[in-house]
A and B are shown apart, each in its own frame.
Chain A
Amino acid sequence: MSVNILDRVAAGKADKSDVLIVCHKKEAGHGVKVTVKSSVRAFFGKHIESLVARKINELQITDILVEVDDNGALDFAILARLEAALIKMGHNVTKPLLDDACFDHFNPDFSRLRRSRLYIPGNNPDLIINAGLFGADSLILDLEDSVAPEQKFDTRFMIRNILTCKNNFLGASERIVRINPLSCEYGLADLEMIVPARPDIILIPKCETADDIIKIEKIVAKLEQSHGIPKQILFMPLIETARGVINAYKIATASKRSVALCFGAEDFTRDIGCERTRDGKETFSARCSIVYAAKAAGIEAIDTVFSDIEDSEGLRKSTVEAQSIGFCGKGLIHPGQIRIVHEVFAPTTEQIQYANRVMQAIEDAKSRGLGVIALGSKMIDAPVVERARKTLELAAKMGIDTAKKEVR
């Protein structure tokens, strides 16, 4: 057993779908005691008690009082809180308490759609358990800004358990974790806990130089190797300072793992010392720079979040603008925003019809052995063909019936 065992530690909170676990060190001979207070006690009281007792016994902890104050937490959340508490207490927990870690959903894919990138506070299991139902292209489990410093430790266990739980709470969405910057005290510990849980992408905040990416890549590669992770975890650098904007191309090309550059307007406007406005004039140039840097590096660019969840027209406007300057997606903070963003990024009926006509013209030209391809009176050159191909590819990815054009 460890030597420095604390007298009393707590993890979690008794919010909906969460649990507060308080462990008390007891003198030898006390034995293992688990008390359960729960809003679902009539249905799961015995289950929770035996689950916690079993884990304590497996760890061969002999004298402890565990007080469980539950509010409908599922097992993955209970075990995340228990593990965090026991480790904080000083116990040696060598493998995750969650049974049968599952990596079936690990699928880093460079070329998927990333129209909607929905942030979810990583320490809120109630928001996480339904997060996969809304059809967001990507879900970001956040360890950074939405998590208070004193909760970072507990949150890592929660996110790790969500990623490795047999129940897939994140649906078909891409699994992204936003870590804390490596420059702060949490960043390295974040990576050590999160990389083995195999997120598809690590969202790296406050990127300012290529070095920020290179350092993280070294750590990630090492962890991947030691944990036998079969595919490379991808990166999404988040640029939110003037320095980051200036270095955007270097950041974009620093690692082959990077799939897209993201922009964060909130921190950026603070950094350059101006107010963030609704029409975003103050960030326009920065956002364009990021698009150019990303495109020059051969990757995508994703726009900042739209933070007023009541203003759906504002969101639509902002998304239309983002698309018009070359972004492929938006950051979101509420599932209700997804539909609008997907609508905006869907190719229009006219675009699809034109693309179909272009492809048809190519077929016709081929079958007739013609070198020059024309549609009506207009000649079709390579960029036009490429754009048509991309339009149809995008439509197919979005599940749009190219005859009817209906957004999924």
Chain B
Amino acid sequence: MVPSEINGRPVKPYAGAFADMVSGKRKAAPPIPRCFPGRVNKVINGLDAALDKLPLRDGMCISFHHHLRNGDYLVNAVVEKLAQRGFKDIVLAPTALFPVHDKLIPYIESGVISHVEGSMNGDVGLACSLGKMKRTATLRSHGGRVRAIQDGDLHIDIAFIGASAADCYGNANGVLGKSACGPLSYSNVDSLYADCSVVITDNLVPFPCIPWSIQGGNINYVVTVDSIGDPAQIVSGTTKLTKSPTQLLIAEYAARFVDEIGYIREGLSFQAGAGGISLAFNVYLAEMMKKKGFTASFAHGGGNTVLVKMLEEGALKYICEGQCFDLDAVRSLRENDNHVESTLSISYNYHAKGCIAHMLDIGVLGATEIDLNFNVNVNTHSDGLLLHGTGGFPDVAAGSDVTIITAPSFRKRIPIIRENVTTVTCPGELIDVVVTERGICINPKRQDLIDKTKNSKLPIMSIDQLMDEVYKITGVPEKVELDDKIVAVMEWRDGSMLDVIRKVKT
């Protein structure tokens, strides 16, 4: 039962990872502004004074970036003030939400926020799962979000852009100042396409603010506040190096697999997402590259201390990133010319003339479930609860030459490999290898990888075999019945509907 429209917008059914025909269509465009010569001062002191000036209305769409991750102050502060002013039915379009945003729940329940377009996790995702949002949420990957904005599917009325440094004109960056959190790349598209773009800073610097990740020509106002957030909180559980022997084993298997298929070589390009296993993979990869005397051409994605070390030791030529996972990466982005910020469009957008994700040799990603057709779920748990954001998963999976999923074969007692995933985040046609501590499964469509590893000592087996082995340990889990009501749609990179997320029965 697939809906024909969502929130009044017709649904385009998913036809294949690269099946989208866009010929002849044109991008959406923001209203034409104008400017006059002379010294312009866009500065407003404090959020309240800013809100007095902004074109606020019920039902408007407001957007935020998540560069401060769990240390962000702005989403909660802005929504709280809009609620105090009596606004309702607001569409919230953040690039991601974190546990710190659990404070939004009352505003979802009271209807101040009608739904989320973008990404959510934790309690906000839970509220969505339980049917507490007035309208249907849309989940998009990083690249999918850029596409939706530039194609006109997601219209942003006001973009709020937290910046650790900004000038009176609106030029801004995230690498200088006490709240430095790295790039501001997630907000680049917002600043270009929103009707009104607002930089919020706790560090007003003299014009011009250099580097200018966000450029003043796209900014209406610059708002000064005491603090935009706590950068110490950008390191979270998913961005820390693991000590778990099982996670380390999975990371080591993944790195050994990459070696055995011949990808430990000069000029390797790779991306390993957030999560303990991915970070540990970076460590093993770095070790292997070093041992063989090779230099990687570039690493893409969340910058972290492991990549920075590779860069500084000369094992890696460039880091191109959209966000920082720790403060070492923030420092490196600020100081190292070979560590550069890349916008989400340049990184991930499918409706573009190219994107960095499509240049990757290896992509290593986590998952909550994988099915026998290699479809992957990263958003919901097997009980149907929407607890995780999508991030750049589909974009990296689509772009990497070899996409590797790393995950434990069961968490607590819950098996990862299932007959069918609860939610399809990414179609199996894009997934090449699944690496768990109990077995490594190669997608049968990658005969080349199967051939290369046929004499391997790694525990390579079919995905059916792995599922059976795990079931022998855990037992076969009961099927979870979900409600018919659709609470969120899973949008593919091209804007088609890949899957729906249904309400969890309570």
Contact = CB atoms under 8 A, between A and B. Distances in A.
Q: Which 3 A-B pairs have the closest CB atoms?
A: A72-B412, A43-B477, A335-B245
B285 interface: no
Nearest to B478: A43
B413 A42 contact: no
Interface stretch (B137-145, B181-189, B292-300, B468-476): B468-476
Interface in B405-450: 411-414, 437-438
Interface residues of A, number: 25
Contact of A44 (B243, B413, B437, B438): B413
A353 interface: no
Contacts of B475: 44, 47, 74-75
Nearest to B408: A130
B480 A42 contact: yes
A74 B473 contact: yes
A40 B414 contact: yes
Interface in A19-54: 39-40, 42-47
A335 B473 CA distance: 21
Interface string B476-499: 011010000000000000000000
B382 interface: yes
Contacts of B478: 42-47
Interface in B239-296: 243, 245-246, 248-249
A39 B245 contact: no
B58 interface: no
B245 A72 contact: no
Contact of A74 (B383, B438, B474, B477): B474
A16 interface: yes
B244 to A, nearest CB: 9
Contacts of A39: 412
Nearest to A72: B412
Number of chain B interface residues as a range: 20 to 34
Contacts of B437: 130, 133
A43 B478 CA distance: 5
A130 B246 contact: yes
Given A44-B477, A47-B475, A336 B413 contact: no
Interface of A: 16-17, 39-40, 42-47, 71-75, 129-130, 133-134, 167, 309, 334-336, 408
Nearest to A338: B245
B501 to A, nearest CB: 16
B457 interface: yes
Chain B's interface: helix, strand, loop or mixed, by majority?
loop
10 contacts: A40-B414, A42-B478, A43-B414, A71-B412, A74-B474, A74-B475, A129-B473, A130-B245, A167-B473, A309-B243
A167 B437 CA distance: 15
Given A42-B383, A47-B475, A73 B413 contact: yes
B70 to A, nearest CB: 23
Contacts of B412: 16-17, 39-40, 71-72
B383 A133 contact: no
A40 B245 contact: no
Nearest to B457: A408
A133 B457 contact: no
Given A40-B477, A43-B413, 18 more contacts: A17-B412, A40-B412, A40-B413, A42-B480, A43-B477, A43-B480, A45-B478, A47-B478, A72-B412, A72-B413, A74-B475, A75-B475, A129-B473, A130-B249, A133-B246, A167-B472, A334-B245, A335-B245
A355 B220 CA distance: 78
Contact of B414 (A72, A129, A133, A167): A72
Contacts of B411: 72
Given A16-B412, A43-B382, A43-B383, A133 B472 contact: no
Which has the most chain A C-beta neighbours within 10 Å: B245, B383, B411, B474? B245
Nearest to B250: A133
Nearest to A406: B457
Contacts of A43: 382-383, 413-414, 477-478, 480
Contacts of A129: 473
A191 to B, nearest CB: 29
B248 A336 contact: yes
B438 A133 contact: yes
A134 B253 CA distance: 11
Contacts of A167: 472-473
Contact of B249 (A42, A134, A408): A134
Contacts of B414: 40, 43, 72
A169 to B, nearest CB: 8
A267 B163 CA distance: 57
Nearest to A39: B412
A42 B482 CA distance: 11
A336 B245 contact: yes
Nearest to A45: B478
Interface string B354-388: 00000000000000000000000000001100000
A309 B248 CA distance: 14
Contacts of A42: 382-383, 478, 480
